[in-house]
Amino acid sequence: MARFVDADLELLAQVDVLLTDVDDTLTRHGKLAPATLKAMSDLMAAGVRVIPVTGGCAGWCDHIVRAWPVSAVIGESGAFRFRLNEHGRLERHFIRPLEELQAEQRQLLMIAERALQQVPGARLAADQPYRLVDVAIDHAQDVGPLNSEQVAILIALFDEAGASARASSIHVNAWFGDHDKAAMAQHLLVKDLGLDARDRARRVLFIGDAPNDEPLFREISLSVGVANILPHLDKLNWAPRWVCDASHGEGFVEMANRLLAARLRPFNE
Q: What is the pLDDT of residues 50-73, one digit of tens each?
A: 999 999 999 999 999 999 999 999
190-199: pLDDT as tens digits: 999 999 999 9
**pLDDT exceeds 90 at position 39:** yes
3-state secondary structure of 221: coil
Using DSSP's 3-state secondary structure scheme, residue 252 falls into helix
pLDDT band at 269 (very low <50, low <70, confident <90, very high): very low
> What is the reported pLDDT for 265?
74
Region 31-37: what's the mean pLDDT? 98
pLDDT the model gives residue 264: 85
Average pLDDT over residues 29-50: 97
pTM value > 0.85: yes
Share of the chain above pLDDT 70, in %: 99
pLDDT reported for residue 245: 98
Give the start-end residues of each E strand in the chain.
2-3, 17-20, 49-52, 73-75, 80-84, 90-94, 123-124, 135-138, 164-167, 171-175, 204-208, 222-225, 242-243
208 and 54 in contact (C-beta within 8 Å)? no
pLDDT at 266: 63
